Amino acid sequence: KQEVTQIPAALSVPEGENLVLNCSFTDSAIYNLQWFRQDPGKGLTSLLLIQSSQREQTSGRLNASLDKSSGRSTLYIAASQPGDSATYLCAVTPGGGNKLTFGTGTQLKVEL
């Protein structure tokens, strides 16, 4: 059974800092990994999707990497801003399937 863990559970940083969020999964037989952000009381916004054959994806100040063999992904946020404050979730799609298994989330607060 796939289990997805995110560390840290919560993070508070000053504005402008570069930061890394971690995601680990127990079964490396995945099709892809997706990073989302969730604002309080809102739905999920897809940030990046990394296919199993890829090593990283970039979108603006966000960079996500994937090391499938070790069961790890990181989300790097450059020059953090207060608007980045949200909960960040990673989720994996198993090989041959299409359901997402979600991680436990990292609650990020970027302070002025």
- Contacts of 44 by beta carbon, 8 Å cutoff, 6+ apart: 36, 37, 38, 89
Strand, helix or coil at 106? Answer: strand
Site for another protein (CB under 8 A): which residue of 6, 32, 65, 106?
A: 32
Residue 36 binding another protein, by CB under 8 A = yes
Instruction: Decide if residue 73 touches another protein (CB under 8 A).
Output: no
Interface with another protein by CB under 8 A: which range of 11-19, 62-70, 76-84, 91-99? 91-99
Residue 35 touching another protein (CB under 8 A)? no
69 binds another protein per the rule CB under 8 A? no
The binder of another protein chosen from 105, 106, 108, 110 (CB under 8 A):
105
Q: Are 28 and 92 in contact (CB under 8 A)?
A: no
